[in-house]
Amino acid sequence: MTPNPTLLRELPADLERERLPKHVAVIMDGNGRWAKKRGLPRIMGHRRGVDVLKDILRCCKDWGVQALTAYAFSTENWGRPVEEVDFLMTLFERVLRQELQEMMEENVRIHFVGNLHALPKSLQLEIERSMEETRHNQGIQFTVATNYGGRQEILQACRSIAHKVQQGLIQPDEIDERLFERHLYTAGISDPDLMIRTSGEMRISNFLLWQVAYAELYVTDTLWPDFDRAEFHRALCAYQQRERRFGKV
Ligand code: FPP
């Protein structure tokens, strides 16, 4: 069964529009387990995972969440069986090609973060095309982390700043949080307010290490292919019950 986008189309009445997270990040875990439980190959879980992601993106738009970031492929995921990696790369490419038109109609601005140069050339081209074509869209900001690692991101920012210091373009004393953030893959994108992880693991798994410093974390046992608007609603309710203090009293 594919997700039903007609359910919970409006913002549920028990959520306060003004206190919604502006930016939600998702670790979409559990695709393999979902498939295994049904005696299906793991790739079927990823395929279903795409449908769920599409509906959660549309739900963000329907309910007024301004930005969604999804962890699609980590730098560690290259260690999976080659057939699964190949399937995922082809899936990303196909989804981008198929969904570009709809993203334009729905005013989605798509952005990719990660070490994109190591991806297959044909995927890189689709990524460039989708980012270029949606660049001026004013609707939801949709960021896809692909071949992404938080530590690697921080290291490449350090390297880039070090080169600029070496060239005399930056003085070491000028390096502050704002300058550093401008050298991350996510430059220009606000930090997530809420990070959701499905399938029960209480880990960050190298995702947005710098950016989640003050994010609220929400972990559900639900596997990503079963994550739906009702689950998203529960996560947002939990978020609205939290008191965000940012280290203050
Ligand atoms: C984790 O589940 C999921 C992934 C590594 C892939 C997620 C990717 C998608 C849903 C596709 C997104 C597509 C686009 C174009 C944005 P797992 O395989 O680790 O599950 P397991 O822990 O049960 O094995």
All domains of the chain in start order, with CATH = 20-149+190-240 (3.40.1180.10)
Residue 223 clears pLDDT 60, i.e. is over it: yes
Residue 4 clears pLDDT 80, i.e. is over it: no
Residue 73 neighbours by CB distance under 10 Å: 19
pLDDT, residue 58, reads: 97
Tell me the CA–centroid distance for residue 231 and ligand 1, in Å.
Answer: 18
- Tell me the per-residue pLDDT of 62-110, one tens digit each, with 9 for 90 and over: 999 999 999 999 999 999 999 999 999 999 999 999 999 999 999 999 9
Output the average pLDDT for the chain. Answer: 96
Which amino acid residue places its CA nearest to atom 22 of ligand 1? 30
Residue 1 clears pLDDT 60, i.e. is over it: no
Which amino acid residue places its CA nearest to atom 8 of ligand 1? 72
Measure the CA–CA gap between 64 and 90, rounded to whole angstroms: 31
Residue 6 vs residue 14, higher pLDDT: 14
pLDDT, residue 56, reads: 98
Measure the CA–CA gap between 205 and 150, rounded to whole angstroms: 9
Distance, CA of 33 to chain centre? 20
Which amino acid residue places its CA nearest to atom 15 of ligand 1? 92
Residue 111 clears pLDDT 60, i.e. is over it: yes
The preferred substitution site among 2, 28, 103 for testing ligand 1, maximizing ligand atoms within 8 Å of CB, is 28
Residue 167 clears pLDDT 90, i.e. is over it: yes
Residue 249 clears pLDDT 80, i.e. is over it: no
115 is catalytic: no
Place of tokens 């498939």: 35
Tell me the CA–centroid distance for residue 93 and ligand 1, in Å.
Answer: 14
- Tell me the per-residue pLDDT of 31-75, one tens digit each, with 9 for 90 and over: 999 999 999 999 999 999 999 999 999 999 999 999 999 999 999
Tokens representing residue 248 in the block: 């203050």
Tell me the CA–centroid distance for residue 119 and ligand 1, in Å.
Answer: 16
pTM of the model: 0.95
CB 184 within 8 A of CB 161: no
Beta strands in the chain (DSSP E): 23-27, 67-74, 109-113, 141-148, 194-197, 216-219
pLDDT, residue 178, reads: 97
Tokens representing residue 49 in the block: 């995972």
pLDDT band at 219 (very low <50, low <70, confident <90, very high): very high
Q: What would the mean pLDDT of 216-238 be, rounded to a whole number? A: 98
Residue 171 three-state SS: coil
Place of tokens 């499905």: 198
Q: What would the mean pLDDT of 178-205 be, rounded to a whole number? A: 97
29 is catalytic: yes
Counting Cα atoms < 13 Å in the Cβ hemisphere of 17 gives 7
pLDDT, residue 8, reads: 87
